[in-house]
Structure 1
Amino acid sequence: MMVTELKNEIESEIIYPDSDGKPMADNTLQFRWITMIKANLDWLFSQDDNVFVAGDLLWYPLEGDNKKRLAPDVMVVFCRPKEERGSYQQWKEDNIAPQVVFEVLYSEPNAPY
């Protein structure tokens, strides 16, 4: 008689949070620039259903790694449909990474560079 051990492998589901808990902007001027860039890109690509523009959206480039992530202030992804997303999981997007990202940096007035 042959005995075969059945392995009870329960694969733990990896959660990809939609928020990193960090604020989008540190002040009103930085927020104004972020929203202005996003709004103008939305307008620029409004007639193209295959250009996705997002602001402060978590981007996960690798499946299985929820620690490697970025949340660009604004990002543009060509060849991806305009649709709602909780996060941008690159492997679910034909493995297309954002081609353009914007980070709006803020410097205190009169701060040394």
Structure 2
Amino acid sequence: MDMESALSTRFAALADPTRRAILARLAEGEATVSELRKPFPISQPAISKHLRVLEQAGLIETGQDRQTRPRRLKAGALRDAAAWLGRIDALWSGRLDRLDEFLTRQTEE
């Protein structure tokens, strides 16, 4: 999957508040499906679907324990998305700084 497709898939996965909450929980450490389901008023199959979306987006992975199949954040999974957002932020921050300087000069004149 090319970088553009990977970013689109990751941002689509991050668009859902339940998936973001799952990622926030996994930031604290790995967890089983039943542990991840506890705070949500949705079924186990619905949680499993969210987990599949997150795994397909490359944001999480399944642990080695075949009994419990714990999920965990994938190392560096958000790095590409954060780098992309950082570039956009820098671009707009620079533009807004230049606009602020221009408006300040206009006010002073």
TM-score tier, shorter chain, comes to under 0.3
TM-score when normalising by structure 1 = 0.25
TM-score when normalising by structure 2 = 0.25
Pick the structure with more strand per residue. 1
